[in-house]
Structure 1
Amino acid sequence: MSNFLVSLSHEPASAAWGASSKLSFVEGGAVLHLPDASLHLRQIQQSTRKIASLGIQNIEFLGRWDAEQQWAFVTSYCGAGFQGNITWCKNSDENDLSTRFAAMQFTRQLVNETPEELSPVSLATEAAAWIKSLSPEHVTTTMVTGEELLKAGWHGIYEVGRGSSRPPVLLELDYNPTGNPDAVVDFALVGKGITFDSGGYSIKSSEGMLDMKCDMGGAATVTGALGLAIMQGLKKRTKLFLCCAENLISDHAYKLGDIITYKNGVTVEIVNTDAEGRLVLADGLMAATASGARKIIDAATLTGAAVMAVGKEFNAIFSLDEEFQASFLSSAQKVHEPHWRLPLMTWHQDQCASPFADTANSRAVKGGGGGGASNAAGFLSRFVGNDGRGWVHIDLAAAYNRNGTDIMPNGATAIGIRTIADQLIG
């Protein structure tokens, strides 16, 4: 099948298409009309979605596109089920674009898998196998699974996942290109890997549960970011912690009123079994802290409150470290990924009070009440060391779109992998 040729023009479309049209078609392809030589990434994405609606598979860039313009097109074009080929411009860094594409497609395809295909163990296994394939001599992995989690003290992951017949797991992956087993860990990445979220006994509506296969988007995002950084030449020791479980209802599932005692001694009353992401991330953040990592980044599809605050075009960012947060947002701006800061103060730790434990895992009101995303981040901050310095939390509001938008295809987006990779390498 021949390629569909797409080119850029700074001339207006012909009168037949309408003088204000941003897109026209020619034999064998299409032309995107930009007013000048600026990037105009959103306009490119909007035109891309119109081309994508035609069902064309093989795309070839023709003429003078820069790398970011091609990337904007591809991120908007390649939705769930895309099986075509992309041919990059000859005047661009084809290797870098191909590397980005491989990481994006891995991330998206992992999130888009059905929950039946992707159990907690298979999520951890697929993530570890992909990273190891990129640098086998520098990667070691360990998995703590099922009842072993209790013995190791990882009570959050165990409690959330014990209602499923498919066991929960904590994956620890060590990428150490230094050759020194005592080398400092520069970064630790922590990902929420809830392969399906029914809400537990705080059960979701059918509509709210429909796309909960995407609730492992944090695990996919940090894995995709690490893989991208490795392919781009990462030289720093980095650890990856994936907190994987299915949140299901059974006679063995955790319940409202239960109290979890974490490894650091913090006690947590369960007031909402649908606020499970923060419970598994707490274990991952403690493991990351124990690794001695200089910096920790966690990513999770954590709260609906973040979506309400920033919409589905941005990820929300939280940190108690102003310098690290500013650096992270600078990386996001550099790679054109939309992230936005939301408030986090130390007093957010105390916004989910419990009369029976140090804290509850949420507020016992619909949606967790006002400031829910900040309160969730405050909960997480109890489980990182150094008073939160060197830690950034990403609430992945922009991780997934069921039906697509005017700029994004259906399914997973992988927004965040380039920003995190830039932090790892920078």
Structure 2
Amino acid sequence: MTGVGSSDWPRIEAALDPREAAYARATGFTPKAGRIALLPGPDGTLARVLFGLGAANPARERLLAGTLAGVLPPGTYRLEGTGFDGTEAALAWLLGGYRFTRYRAAVPAGEAVPAGEAVPAGGSVPAGPALPRLVAPAGVDAEAVSRVAAAVALGRDLVNTPANDLGPAEIEAAARALAERHGAAVTVVSGDDLARDFPLVHAVGAASPRAPRLIDLTWGDAAAARVTLVGKGVAFDTGGLDIKPSAGMLLMKKDMGGAAAALAAAAMVMGAHLPVRLRVLIPAVENSISGAAFRPGDVLRSRAGLTVEIGNTDAEGRLILADALALADAEAPDLLIDFATLTGAARVALGPDLPAFFTEDDALAEAVAAAGRTAFDPVWRLPLHAPYAGLLDSKIADLNNAPGGPFAGAITAALFLRRFAPATRAHVHFDLYGWNPSTKPGRPEGGEVQTARLVYALLAQRYPAGT
């Protein structure tokens, strides 16, 4: 398989067998990004694939090779040409080959990349012999690429699973299964203990027959740098008594996308044996409706002791995160990162492909942005504009979870969360969408663990394996 950039095409075309060159011209191949030409050999079998890479520029789609796994016929392929970065192409191949196959027969997603061998397209399901396979490019750490792709597939599977099969208990089961694979420990707080110690988590989940819980996973050397990941685990969000319209509920199975991203990042960190003491906190709930539902106008006391007036029951994610962040902040981690499908305002500002992030630490912000570029997992920093904190004022409580008004919704949500982790300066909040609205290279339509690969790249750079 030959990658063909716009400037390379005359040279590559001249080097082709005359019959191959004639066939490419006859079929109208151009090196436009994503174009494919299947060139037959003398016996009629497939001899070569030309893959258009487009012009070399900073805006080139770095996961472009992710289109290949879903369109090539069965066979074993090797990459050649100067246009491919081997690691990017191998990862894109696996990410693009992912398929969610739980509920219907389909082409399976593939299997992990064995170093130096031909590897099938995809991420998590054993491949049949009919799938296209890619030989791991020279110099590529195929095992590391495989771990990342498998972790992404894990998170995507969680987001794609509908709420009838994925509630708080199933999120807990996924965390326990991940912990068992890596020798981590898991404790879970539920019932009366949850009501006492994590009252906001309990209040949000009280209306559902599926009991809420706080999942706490720990791994690594207790003396190592402390890294804590917090993921919003709302298995389904009706909006509560401030009920969403039907259209607003259609994708609410993805409201646990923050928890999926945290677990995917944790899988990468543990799989690479990074020298950190990792903690993952997931408040897992279903925001439902019943006589036990919390109400607009209620005043709830948080784990941190702050009282919160409920301005809107559909702003439940920040409530459950508040209790989890207070727990995380109590042990003063070296780095605290939370992931949440939190606000529509962030989507309006940046669209579905570009998560917003917030931090008060400018050096950390630069590192996060750089890690996003390295991992081709892009983000954009929005400001924690302190004067907007006044928008959270309540006349009867310490703060309101959803003050009225159309302005700065993503910023006020981030400012709300910062109130619950005051001791931790190195705190990053990701406001993500958790979903690919349409298929793009390396990103099939459906659930996505945005920022998980970024966080792994950030931690791998800060805490290299083997140190």
Does the pair score TM above 0.5? yes
Distance in 1 between residues matched to 2:194 and 2:274, nearest whole Å = 31
Q: How far apart are 1:212 and its partner, in Å?
A: 0.7
Correspondence for 2:193: 148
Q: Does structure 1 conserve the Cα–Cα contact (< 8 Å) formed by 2:299 and 2:310?
A: yes
From the superposition, tell whether residues 79 and 38 of structure 1 become closer, same or farther in structure 2 (CA, over 3 Å).
farther
Matched, 1:119 2:206: no
From the superposition, tell whether residues 70 and 189 of structure 1 become closer, same or farther in structure 2 (CA, over 3 Å).
same
TM-score (norm 2): 0.81
Correspondence for 2:95: 75
Correspondence for 1:280: 320
Correspondence for 1:101: 149
Aligned pairs (5 A) from 1:206-355: 206-355=246-395
User: Which amino acid is 2:109 matched to?
Assistant: Q
Report the secondary structure of 1:42's partner residue: coil
Bigger drift between 347-356 and 302-311 goes to: 347-356
Q: How far apart are 1:30 and its partner, in Å?
A: 4.4
User: Which amino acid is 1:353 matched to?
Assistant: D
Correspondence for 2:233: 193
Q: How far apart are 1:260 and its partner, in Å?
A: 0.9
From the superposition, tell whether residues 224 and 250 of structure 1 become closer, same or farther in structure 2 (CA, over 3 Å).
same
Q: What are the superposed Cα offsets for residues 390-411 of structure 1, whole Å, 9 maximum, x if unpaired?
A: 10000013x2024435773111
Superposition RMSD in Å: 2.5
Structure 1 unmatched ranges of 5 or more? 1-5
Aligned pairs (5 A) from 1:159-174: 159-174=203-218
Q: Does structure 2 conserve the Cα–Cα contact (< 8 Å) formed by 1:131 and 1:223?
A: no
Corresponding residue to 2:407 among 347, 366, 370: 370
Q: How far apart are 1:312 and its partner, in Å?
A: 1.1
Correspondence for 1:416: 451
Q: What are the superposed Cα offsets for residues 328-347 of structure 1, whole Å, 9 maximum, x if unpaired?
A: 22211221211100111333
Q: Does structure 1 conserve the Cα–Cα contact (< 8 Å) formed by 2:91 and 2:145?
A: yes
TM-score (norm 1): 0.88
From the superposition, tell whether residues 335 and 151 of structure 1 become closer, same or farther in structure 2 (CA, over 3 Å).
same
Q: Does structure 2 conserve the Cα–Cα contact (< 8 Å) formed by 1:184 and 1:292?
A: no
Correspondence for 1:17: 28
Q: How far apart are 1:48 and its partner, in Å?
A: 4.7
Report the secondary structure of 1:62's partner residue: coil
From the superposition, tell whether residues 409 and 214 of structure 1 become closer, same or farther in structure 2 (CA, over 3 Å).
same
Q: Does structure 1 conserve the Cα–Cα contact (< 8 Å) formed by 2:179 and 2:185?
A: no
Distance in 1 between residues matched to 2:238 and 2:353, nearest whole Å = 25
Q: How far apart are 1:67 and its partner, in Å?
A: 0.7
Report the secondary structure of 2:388's partner residue: helix
Structure (1 or 2) with the larger CA radius of gyration: 2
Corresponding residue to 1:62 among 79, 83, 86: 79
Q: Does structure 1 conserve the Cα–Cα contact (< 8 Å) formed by 2:66 and 2:95?
A: no
Distance in 1 between residues matched to 2:28 and 2:373, nearest whole Å = 34
Report the secondary structure of 1:34's partner residue: strand
Correspondence for 1:3: none
Q: How far apart are 1:61 and its partner, in Å?
A: 4.6
- Larger relative contact order (C-alpha < 8 A, sep ≥ 6)? 1
Q: What are the superposed Cα offsets for residues 201-258 of structure 1, whole Å, 9 maximum, x if unpaired?
A: 1111111101111111111101110110111121111111001100001111111111
Structure 2 unmatched ranges of 5 or more? 14-23, 41-45, 102-107, 111-119, 122-133, 463-467
Aligned pairs (5 A) from 1:381-392: 381-386=418-423, 389-392=425-428
